[in-house]
Amino acid sequence: MSKIKVITAYEGDCCYQDLTLGNMREYCQRWGYEFKANINSPYWKPLVYPHCMMWRKTEMLIEELHDCDWILWLDLDCFFLNMTVPLEGAFTDETADLVITGSFGPCPECGKAVHNVGLLSFRNCNWSREILTGWWDQEHERIKLNPAPEYTHCVGETLWLSCQVVENPVHVSHVKILPLAIAGWATITGSPDQFLTHQYAALQPAKRKMFEKLEQRVIR
Ligand SMILES: [Mn+2]
Ligand SMILES: [Zn+2]
């Protein structure tokens, strides 16, 4: 049986964090997964502009990728809709080292598919460590070239992983892309198959009401 770790992080106050953290904790307790949340944690080194919260996921994935078989990163705006579905199968795959969810559009630079990086599952292996280190290093290179925090030239948190890894023929055999119908981005299909969602709500405090509504319809 795989040992699975689920991690999340956030800096600052998020008005719905009790709902989403409670949801993640309940799900992980049900299935026996380790759950670690670094919210306003002294664990972090200070971030220097133009670093932003997004890079905490890379940092935390690198730090926590040990003592487990698989690690699942969840943005704080992720939410389990169906607690009866385990991560095994969808987010752990014998043939893959990275499980990511489907595309939500093309990269403005190269036209390759851009993936949802709010939900990421990495196998504890050397390939994952190399990818995560490369993901972290490229951010430092980018800042030296151009300190503007915009997403351009296939770099930045989302584009680098999508353009340079997921859509790169060199890495294709390591990556499994889950259908949005299983772990959707932004939309709720209403199907019990969609057991996890990422709502792109980190910058939208009004989303508390949405998570309150979702909480009412969680399948337990
Ligand atoms: Mn998010
Ligand atoms: Zn690109």
Residues 49-67: tens digit of each pLDDT? 445 566 778 889 999 999 9
Ligand nearest to the CA of 168: 2
Question: What is the percent of the chain where pLDDT is above 90?
Answer: 55
Q: Report the CATH fold assignment for 4-216.
A: Spore Coat Polysaccharide Biosynthesis Protein SpsA; Chain A (3.90.550)
Q: Assign 87 a pLDDT band (cuts: 50, 70, 90).
A: very high
Mean pLDDT of 103-129: 92
Ion ligand 2 residue ranges (Cβ < 5 Å): 107, 109-110, 154, 163
Q: In 10 A of CB 87, how many CB atoms? A: 22
> What confidence tens digit (pLDDT) does each residue in 11-31 have?
777 889 999 999 999 999 999
Q: Assign 202 a pLDDT band (cuts: 50, 70, 90).
A: low
On the question of pLDDT at 89 being above 80, the answer is yes
Check residue 189 and give its pLDDT: 84
30 C-alpha to center of ligand 1: Å?
Answer: 24
Q: What is the C-alpha separation between 39 and 48, in angstroms, rounded? A: 18
Q: What is the C-alpha separation between 131 and 174, in angstroms, rounded? A: 11
Between 196 and 10, the higher pLDDT residue = 196
> Kindly report the CA angle at 89 between 187 and 66, in degrees rounded to 5?
100
Task: Supply the pTM of this predicted model.
Answer: 0.91
Check residue 151 and give its pLDDT: 45
- Average per-residue pLDDT for the chain: 86
On the question of pLDDT at 45 being above 70, the answer is no
75 C-alpha to center of ligand 1: Å?
Answer: 5
CB 219 within 8 A of CB 194: no
Where does the chain have alpha helices with state H? 17-31, 54-64, 126-145, 157-159, 208-216
Domain ranges of the chain: 4-216
Radius of gyration (Cα) for the chain, nearest Å?
A: 17
Q: What is the C-alpha separation between 56 and 82, in angstroms, rounded? A: 27
174 C-alpha to center of ligand 2: Å?
Answer: 19
Q: What is the C-alpha separation between 29 and 115, in angstroms, rounded? A: 28
